[in-house]
Amino acid sequence: MSGAGTARLAVLLSGRGSNLVAIADACRRGEVPAEIVLVLSNKADAAGLERARERGIPARVVPAKGLSREEHERQLIAALEKAQVEWVCLAGYMRLLTPLFIERFFPRIVNVHPALLPSFPGVEAQRQAWEYGVKVAGCTVHLVDAGCDTGPIVLQRTVEVGEDDTPETLSARILEQEHIAYPTALRRLLTRPWRLDGRRLVFE
């Protein structure tokens, strides 16, 4: 399906798209042996759509409004299958996926979460961590299962939390690490043999 060891990726997003840019740049530089063949968003005004188009990546909106979760996902799956997508990267995609979608693509669905899971799942993770008073925060790249931020961990990167940090400064430093972590995780998944041992993702 994909030539010369190049995996066909799709990115699903709902907003800014800075992780999309980080992945796309890493693919272009040859650091990740993959090509982003499609970007899908549930939000028509997601800035990430424009980031994709600027790079010549096909980008489409699949609105969720008025559809059941499953019907929306059937439309996503149809678009992904048409583009012969092998891996799905969530990058700021603000909807939980149902078992319908997960069963179609697991274990080749990846997400980045802006906290050291299993701490602080869900929304505003950086603020949750800051309010809790952690001294070390970070981000997690994980495979996606049907739970909320519960899938097997691929890799994590840390940042120290300073006395002067605010949720905003902490988020910005975590985001820098996300942009390193996501391409690094994809490179490992695509170039090294790995297996799942329970919920532990083990690189051979």
Q: Is residue 13 involved in binding ligand GRF (CB under 6 A)?
A: yes
Residue 179 among the catalytic residues: no
Residue sitting closest to ligand GRF (CB): 92
Q: Is residue 89 involved in binding ligand GRF (CB under 6 A)?
A: no
Amino acid in the structure at residue 200: R
Residues 2 and 30: their CA atoms lie apart, in Å, by: 15
Minimum distance between the CB of residue 20 and ligand GRF, rounded to whole angstroms?
Answer: 6
Q: Which of residues 55-84 bind ligand GRF (CB under 6 A)?
A: none
Q: Is residue 17 involved in binding ligand GRF (CB under 6 A)?
A: yes
Q: Which is nearer to ligand GRF, 84 or 158 (CB)?
A: 158
Amino acid in the structure at residue 8: R
Estimate to the nearest angstrom the gap between the alpha carbon of 122 and the chain centroid: 14
CA R_g for the chain: 16
Q: Is residue 138 involved in binding ligand GRF (CB under 6 A)?
A: no
Instruction: Give the containing element (helix H, strand E) for 60.
Output: strand 59-61
- Site size toward ligand GRF, by CB under 6 A: 14
Q: Which is nearer to ligand GRF, 13 or 143 (CB)?
A: 13
Q: Is residue 18 involved in binding ligand GRF (CB under 6 A)?
A: yes
Catalytic annotation, pick one of 72, 113, 142, 179: 113
Q: Is residue 48 involved in binding ligand GRF (CB under 6 A)?
A: yes
DSSP 4-58: GG-EEEEEEESS--HHHHHHHHHHHTTSSSEEEEEEEES-TT-HHHHHHHHTT--
Asked if residue 32 lies in contact with residue 190, where contact means CB atoms within 8 angstroms, the answer is yes
Q: Which of residues 156-185 bind ligand GRF (CB under 6 A)?
A: 175, 178
Site mask for ligand GRF (CB under 6 A), range 108-127, x = bound: ----xxx-------------
Amino acid in the structure at residue 109: I
Q: Which residues are within 8 A (CB) of 22 and not within 5 positions of it... i.e. 6 or more apart?
A: 178, 179, 180, 182, 183
Q: Which is nearer to ligand GRF, 17 or 37 (CB)?
A: 17
Interface residue list for ligand GRF (CB under 6 A): 13, 15-19, 48, 91-92, 112-114, 175, 178
Catalytic residues: 113
